[in-house]
């Protein structure tokens, strides 16, 4: 048995934010936060982070203080964990010192600190359902996201147009560091950002609280300004990779439907795990006559990807600028590729992803087209109607790379489909009915879970194929070659 105050003080000291002499001060801060002076009856068996958080949360919920504060539990817990977090200045100093030893050491320590103070929601992330899906393109990863709700593309588009709240302007603004939070804005008291210089601009580096993969990092501009995909952005992405050579770094596209959930604030995502697309083979080499220092090829991947490789960032930026310019104005009616609408609206952009392999920079340029038609009102190169029962959200950077982030609703829905396939009398959701019937008909009777996982994985392959501008059939391959020829 251990006094809760002792456990809390222990964690605060362990975080590096305080020392033993701060013990009385910390205990009084805890009394203030919990709203009661006598904490002597609150004891715990184990002094780990979650036991401490959960025990104290129960106290503040039951003694009425949380209601008196008018805070959500999330806000209160973040405020509690602020005491388990060094000040931004201290963390930045420590990061710089570690970085001198190695970039990896610096990111590892910062990542650990972001987990130890419950900023990264390790417990919630562990709830996600994750499995590998072997495919013709290599292993993909399928995850059902049970830690955070997904947004609808229409909501994302509406949010882009909606008037901004006064403060902070968005969830990616630097001003979130230490922000208390409110009902419609996450609690960020325990949030810290590492500062760095990026081609003369002030940028921040933080982790995603609801990580989709290992060390899911976010790099953000200090200025709240919209996402742009141009050669300057590609240059920045490559410079971030050179700063963090053990991380991949990519950007969502800058147009709705084919972009990410936050288009209003310039940012990149990256991390310590190479996602499936990085292992895809080059199935056809390309010669870029104007850029002899750059090797290039088309990836064997459901989406249309050109991989560039060079030791020179400048050459890669020049080559990608050229490809981007050509793509921006490239239409091919035969395969429904459309650069501009009649009213001049731009439809073409790129999802760029960079990494360093054996000292060589690799830059994957994923061609995107966001135009809509009467037949495909959600987007010609967006998951089509018949796969939307599995995924209707935007195919952003992470999915492009072969990591499916599927909506939480699927957890229960797939259980029902499973029961249906096994012949039980259940009511399958209308939008799954056709699929469930097909699955039931083809089911061999063995390994129902593996059977369903494969079926979901195949849907995800289809989702990516829908998002691919040049299809993988003979007609699509020829169309891709026509595009390559004009480069």
Distance CA 487, CA 478 (A): 15
Q: Which is nearer to Zn ion, 227 or 237 (CB)?
A: 227
Q: What is the dihedral of CA 93, 95, 97, 102, to 10 degrees?
A: -170
User: In the set 170, 238, 363, 417, which binds Zn ion (CB under 5 A)?
Assistant: 170
- Minimum distance of Zn ion from residue 204's CB (angstroms): 11
Helix, strand, coil shares, percent, the chain, to 5: 40, 20, 40
- Minimum distance of Zn ion from residue 142's CB (angstroms): 31
Q: Which is nearer to Zn ion, 191 or 307 (CB)?
A: 191
User: In the set 169, 195, 322, 340, which binds Zn ion (CB under 5 A)?
Assistant: 169
User: In the set 125, 173, 253, 428, which binds Zn ion (CB under 5 A)?
Assistant: 173
Instruction: Please state, in angstroms and as integers, the Cα–Cα distance from residue 257 to each residue in 154, 266, 313, 339, 393, following that order.
Output: 9, 17, 29, 15, 8
- Minimum distance of Zn ion from residue 171's CB (angstroms): 7
Q: CA angle, 262 as apex, 115 and 371 as ends, to 5°?
A: 140
- Minimum distance of Zn ion from residue 189's CB (angstroms): 18
Distance CA 171, CA 188 (A): 10
Query: Do residues 313 and 321 lie in contact, with contact meaning Cβ atoms separated by under 8 Å?
Result: no
Q: Which is nearer to Zn ion, 266 or 362 (CB)?
A: 266
Distance CA 318, CA 330 (A): 18
User: In the set 148, 160, 185, 224, which binds Zn ion (CB under 5 A)?
Assistant: 224
Q: Which is nearer to Zn ion, 267 or 371 (CB)?
A: 267
Q: What is the dihedral of CA 72, 76, 78, 83, to 10 degrees?
A: 170
Query: Do residues 387 and 431 lie in contact, with contact meaning Cβ atoms separated by under 8 Å?
Result: no
- Minimum distance of Zn ion from residue 294's CB (angstroms): 34
Show Cβ contacts of residue 297 under 8 Å, excluding neighbours closer than 6 positions: 282, 283, 284, 285, 286, 306, 307
Distance CA 469, CA 253 (A): 14
Q: Which is nearer to Zn ion, 223 or 334 (CB)?
A: 223
Distance CA 27, CA 336 (A): 66
- Minimum distance of Zn ion from residue 173's CB (angstroms): 3
How many binding residues for Zn ion (CB under 5 A)? Answer: 6
- Minimum distance of Zn ion from residue 239's CB (angstroms): 21
Binding mask 237-276 for Zn ion (x = CB under 5 A): ----------------------------x-----------
Distance CA 416, CA 432 (A): 10
- Minimum distance of Zn ion from residue 318's CB (angstroms): 30
Give the range of 161-169, 283-291, 346-354, 466-474 binding Zn ion by CB under 5 A.
161-169
Give the range of 57-65, 167-175, 355-363, 369-377 binding Zn ion by CB under 5 A.
167-175
Q: Which is nearer to Zn ion, 31 or 224 (CB)?
A: 224
Q: Which is nearer to Zn ion, 89 or 225 (CB)?
A: 225
Is there binding between residue 188 and Zn ion (CB under 5 A)? no
- Minimum distance of Zn ion from residue 266's CB (angstroms): 9
User: Which residues ranging from 294 to 323 are in contact with Zn ion (CB under 5 A)?
Assistant: none
181 closest CA partner among 267, 32, 34, 77: 77
Q: Which is nearer to Zn ion, 226 or 377 (CB)?
A: 226
Q: Which is nearer to Zn ion, 265 or 356 (CB)?
A: 265
Q: Which helix (H) or strand (E) holds 129?
A: strand 129-135
Rg (CA), the chain: 25
- Binding stretches for Zn ion (CB under 5 A): 169-170, 172-173, 224, 265
């Amino acid at each position: 048995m251990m006094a809760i105050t002792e456990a809390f003080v222990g964690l605060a000291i362990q975080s590096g934010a305080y020392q033993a002499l701060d013990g009385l001060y910390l205990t009084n801060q805890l009394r203030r936060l919990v709203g009661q002076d006598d904490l002597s009856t609150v004891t715990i068996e184990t002094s780990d982070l979650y036991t401490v958080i959960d025990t104290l949360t129960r106290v503040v919920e039951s003694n009425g203080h949380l209601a008196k504060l008018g805070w959500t539990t999330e806000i209160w817990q973040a405020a509690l964990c602020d005491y388990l977090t060094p000040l931004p200045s201290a963390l930045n100093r420590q990061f710089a010192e570690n970085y001198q030893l190695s970039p990896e050491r610096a990111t590892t320590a910062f990542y650990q600190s972001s987990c130890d103070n419950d900023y990264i929601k390790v417990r919630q992330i562990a709830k996600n359902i994750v499995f590998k899906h072997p495919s013709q393109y290599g292993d993909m990863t399928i995850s059902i996201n049970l830690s955070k709700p997904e947004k609808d593309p229409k909501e994302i588009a509406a949010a882009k147009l909606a008037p901004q709240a006064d403060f902070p302007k968005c969830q990616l603004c630097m001003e979130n560091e230490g922000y208390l939070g409110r009902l419609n804005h996450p609690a960020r008291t325990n949030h810290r950002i590492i500062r760095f210089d990026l081609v003369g601009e002030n940028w921040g580096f933080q982790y995603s609280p609801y990580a989709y993969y290992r060390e899911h990092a976010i790099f953000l501009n200090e200025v709240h300004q919209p996402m742009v995909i141009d050669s300057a952005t590609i240059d920045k992405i490559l410079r971030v990779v050179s700063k963090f050579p053990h991380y991949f770094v990519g950007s969502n596209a800058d147009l709705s439907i084919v972009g990410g959930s936050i288009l209003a604030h310039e940012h990149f995502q990256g991390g310590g795990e190479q996602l499936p697309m990085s292992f895809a083979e080059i199935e056809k080499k390309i010669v870029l006559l104007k850029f002899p220092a750059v090797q290039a090829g088309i990836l064997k991947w459901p989406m249309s990807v050109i991989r560039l490789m060079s030791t020179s960032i400048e050459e890669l930026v020049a080559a990608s600028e050229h490809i981007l310019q050509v793509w921006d104005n490239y239409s091919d009616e035969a395969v429904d590729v459309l650069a501009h609408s009649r009213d001049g609206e731009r439809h073409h952009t790129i999802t760029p992803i960079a990494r360093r392999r054996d000292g060589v920079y690799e830059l994957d340029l994923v061609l995107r087209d966001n135009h809509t038609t009467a037949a495909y009102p959600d987007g010609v190169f967006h998951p089509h109607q018949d796969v939307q029962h599995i995924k209707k959200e935007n195919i952003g950077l992470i999915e492009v790379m072969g990591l499916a982030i599927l909506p939480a609703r699927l957890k229960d829905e797939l259980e029902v489909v499973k029961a249906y396939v096994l012949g039980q009398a259940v009511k399958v959701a209308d939008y799954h009915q056709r699929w469930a019937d097909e699955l039931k008909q083809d089911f061999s009777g063995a390994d129902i879970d593996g059977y369903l996982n494969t079926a979901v994985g195949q849907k995800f392959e289809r989702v990516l194929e829908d998002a691919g501008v040049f299809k993988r059939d003979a007609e699509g391959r020829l169309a891709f070659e026509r595009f390559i020829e004009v480069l």
